[in-house]
Structure 1
Amino acid sequence: MTEQQRTSATGGMETSYGFRQVGEGEKQSLVNDVFHKVAKRYDIMNDIMSAGLHRAWKDAMVAALNPPRDPAYRLLDVAGGTGDIAFRVVEASGRQAHASVLDINGSMLAVGADRAAKKELSANLDFVEANAEALPFEDKHFDAYTIAFGIRNVPRIDVALTEAFRVLKRGGRLLVLEFSEVEMPLLDRIYDEWSFKAIPQFGKLVTGDAEPYQYLVESIRKFPNQQDFAAMIRAAGFSRVNYTNYTGGIAALHSGWKL
C-alpha cells in the first residue's frame, strides 16, 4: 500500500490517477467523473475520509486567514464547489467579504449554489466553472486564494500555483489545506488500515460505489510530502512559505505570501 512512492517537487501528479499511471491529458476527465459521482455526498465523503476531523481543520484554516470585516475583501476559493470554505470565510468576515468559488466540476458548483441560497449567502458569493490551471481573472485581483483538499486532484499543480500567484494582489495570501504524510509512528499504520480497508467500503455503503474513494485514498499517498509541496509553492514565487501539520500530519495547512 504505502510502498507506492510519492511524487516529488519536480512533478508526477499530472500522470498519476491514484496508483495508476495515465497518459498526458487523461487525468482531468477521470477526476471529473469521480466528483460527478460524489458531488451530492461530498461532505459525507470528507467526514468518512477524515473521521470528521476535516471540520476542525477547515475552521483552523479560516482562523489562520483571519478575513477582515471589509466589503472590499476578495477571496478566491478554488476546487471549492460545495462552498464549505467560502461560507466559513464570509461568516468570519461578518458577512462583509466576497468569495468567488471556482471549480471545474459543474455538479459540485450546483450543490454549492443551492447551499448558499439556503444559507442566505448568495449576495456574498459567485460560482465560477473553470480550470485551476487557467483562471479566468485578471492579474492582482484577489486578496486571498484558498484551496482545501483539491490541489492533489489538479493535474499540473505547478501551473495552478503559478496561476494563484498571478491573480493575487501584492500582500495576498495563499492557503492550501491538503491530506499529507503522517509523521507520527504507529498513527501512520492505523491511518493506512483505515484508508485502504475501511474508507472504500464506507464509500460504497454511502454512494454505492467504492471506486471514487479508492482513487481518493491512493491520490493522498501519491501527493508530495510537506517539504516537497512547500518547495513547489516557493518555486511559484511565494515568500514566507511554511506549513502546519494537523493530527500528526494526516493533513497539513500550507501558507505563502505574494510579496
Structure 2
Amino acid sequence: MALCIPLPSCRFSHRPVRSSLERQEHFGRIAPVYDNLNDLLSLGQHRIWKRMTVSWTGAKMGDCALDLCCGSGDFAFLLSEKVGSNGKGLAPNACYNNIEWVEGDALELPFSDGYFDAITMGYGLRNVVDKERAMQEMFRVLKPGSRVSVLDFNKSTQPFTNLIQIVWMIDNVVVPVATGYGLAKEYEYLNSSIKEFLTGKELERLALQVGFSNARHYEISGGLMGNLVATR
C-alpha cells in the first residue's frame, strides 16, 4: 500500500519568531500567497528544483514516502504521483487520495523504525531547532538502502558568491516583492537563517555522523540552491 505522509514540524523556528503561536501566525500569513510568490521570485524554477529533489529520493510506485515540514504540500503532491494511488486518507481540497496529513514534531517523528522508502524535506532543515536530531530521526524512520533528499538555499563556501547570490537577492528582490504582498517582515528573516545554516560539506558530514552510509550535496541553479541526498 502506498502512503504519503507530509509532516510539519512542531519545533520549526527562527530567531525573529519566538513562540509557537508567533510561528503559526508567521507562516499562516505567508501560506495564501506562498506558491505564487515562489513562481514569481524564481521565475518558475522552484518547480524544477522540487521535481529534482523528489527524483533523487528514488521513490517509485508502491513506496511509502514522507514529506517532512510539508508547507503547502507541493513535495507531497509530487511524491503522491511517484508512489501511486493505492493509498489511504484524503487530502482536503486535493484529488490525491494516497496522502495523509499528519501534524507532528520533526525531532520526534511518530513513526516506527524503518517505516519509509523515501523522505523529502524542502526549506525545513535550515529552520528546525536541532538539525542533528532532525537528521537522526530521518535516518531512524528510513528503510535500509533508502534515501532522504533535502532542498534548501545553498550556503556557499565562497563569501563573494554567497553575498551576491543570496544576500543581495533577498535584500533587493525577495523582500521588495514580498513587501508588495504586505509580507516584508515575514521574509526579512531569510538572510539571518541562511547565514546560520550549514554549508554543503557540513551537511554531508552531519548526515554521515548520524549514520547515513553516504551523503552528497549538489549545488543547483548556479549555486543558489543546494540539495543533500543521503542514503541509509
2:67 corresponds to which residue? 77
Partner of 1:60: 52
* 1:177-217 C-alpha deviation (Å, 9 max, x unpaired): 111124676685254322112211211212x1211100123
Q: Residues of 2 paired with 1:54 and 1:222: CA distance?
A: 22
For 2:198, the aligned partner's letter is: P
Aligned to 1:200: 175
In the TM superposition, what are the counterparts of 1:218-229 in structure 2 within 5 Å? 218-229=192-203
Q: Give the 5 Å matches for 1:33-52.
A: 33-52=25-44
* Corresponding residue number in structure 2 for 1:159: 133
Q: 1:222–1:204: structure 2 CA closer, same or farther, 3 Å change rule?
A: same
Contact 2:57/2:229 (8 A) holds in 1: no
The answer to whether the Cα contact below 8 Å between 1:75 and 1:97 also exists between their aligned partners in 2 is no
Residue pair 1:75, 1:144 contacting (<8 A) in 2 also: yes
Instruction: Give the drift of 1:254.
Output: 0.6
Deviations along 1:109-168, one digit per CA (max 9) or x if unpaired, are xxx9445x2xx11x2100011110111111111111110111111111111111111111
Structure 2 SS opposite 1:64: helix
Superposed CA RMSD in Å reads 2.7
Deviation at 1:34, TM superposition (A): 2.2
Residues 20-169 of structure 1 mapped to structure 2, 5 A cutoff: 26=18, 30-70=22-62, 73-93=63-83, 95-96=84-85, 113-115=91-93, 117=94, 120-121=95-96, 123-169=97-143
Give unmatched runs, 5+ long, in structure 1: 1-13, 101-111
TM-score, scaled relative to structure 1: 0.75
SS at match of 1:125: coil
**Aligned residue number for residue 185 of structure 2:** 211
Q: In percent, how many aligned pairs have the same letter? A: 30
The number of residue pairs the alignment matches comes to: 220
Measure, in 1, the Cα distance between the counterparts of 2:231 and 2:191.
30
**5+ long unaligned stretches in structure 2:** 1-11
- Name the SS for the 2:44 alignment partner: coil
